Every structure is written in structure tokens, then in C-alpha cells.
Amino acid sequence: DDVDCTALAMAVFLRDGHICRGKQCTDVARLILLNKNPDGVIETYFPPRGIRENRVDPATTSNVMRFVYATGFEAEARKSEDYLFNCLQSEEYMNKCYYYVCPEAFFFFLSTAIVLNDPARRRFESLLVENIRKRFGTTKFPLDCAMRVLALADRKSTRLNSSHIT
């Protein structure tokens, strides 16, 4: 039904060696990449969508980009990458994530995507870290704090002690 679950499952299967980079991945990637809104951003739901037409979500788009980067189709998803960058820059993720409970989910999913693609990592990393830092102290929910920690876990230059994470 949706590109989020499809892309996330394919990325995990690919990472864990349950599928290989070949026709199977290419076919699914192409199906996802054809599912764009008029602005060229990958939509959350596959057709037929009904009331979900043109639905785009930063967290789900991050999961899609994880699969796109893993399969090497990033050139065909530039508008989706730009959408994510604009959401991060403008902080639209605060109001546009429909399916996940906190903005930190977006941070976590985006961080898992950009580590797979050096140009994306260079583009997003400092802005992502800046946005995560802005969320320090805004909530003490364990899930929010854990997602902040996980989103920062691969960034040696921004290691923080636990007193700074909440």
C-alpha cells in the first residue's frame, strides 16, 4: 500500500543479504521512483490513493531515500532529496510527519539514509545535527531521547555526553 513500508523492508532485506542488488531491487526501486507527485517528490501511497493523493511525509520519504541510496538511484530522486533538505531547513518536519509520533523519528530515519550516500551526508549532516540540538530539552520521553541518540550515533564529531542529549 505504501512506499514507506516497501522501501524500509527492501532496505533491510538488502542490508542483511536476503536479497541482492539485481532485477528484484531494480524493479521495486523503479516502481517507487515512478510514484511521484506533480512536484517530482515520491509520494507515500501507491495508486490507487483516493483521499491520500499527493501525500508526502518527511519521515516516510527518508525511509524511501534509504532504499534509493542503497540501490544507487539517487539521481532519479533529487526532488525528494531536495524536499527533505527543505523540510529540515525550514523545520517543516515539526508539522508534516503524519505517521510517526515525534520529530525525532524523522531525524533517525534521515540519519540512516544519509550514511549510505557521501554527497547526501555532506549536504545534510551539519543541518541535521543543528536541528537535533534544537530539540534538546523539549521532551523527556524515552523514545524521543533514544532517537536523538541514535541519529547522532554515527557522528564522531558531534559526540555528546548523556547529560546533553535530553
pLDDT tens for 37-57 read 999 999 999 887 788 888 899
Which helix (H) or strand (E) segment holds residue 145: the answer is: helix 142-152
pLDDT at 154: 65
Closest CA to 104 of 64, 63, 60, 145: 145
Distance set, CA 141 to CA 112, 136, 137, 145 (Å):
21, 11, 10, 6
Distance, CA of 7 to chain centre: 10
Instruction: Select, from the ranges 19-23, 74-78, 155-159, 162-166, the one with the highest average predicted confidence (pLDDT).
Output: 74-78
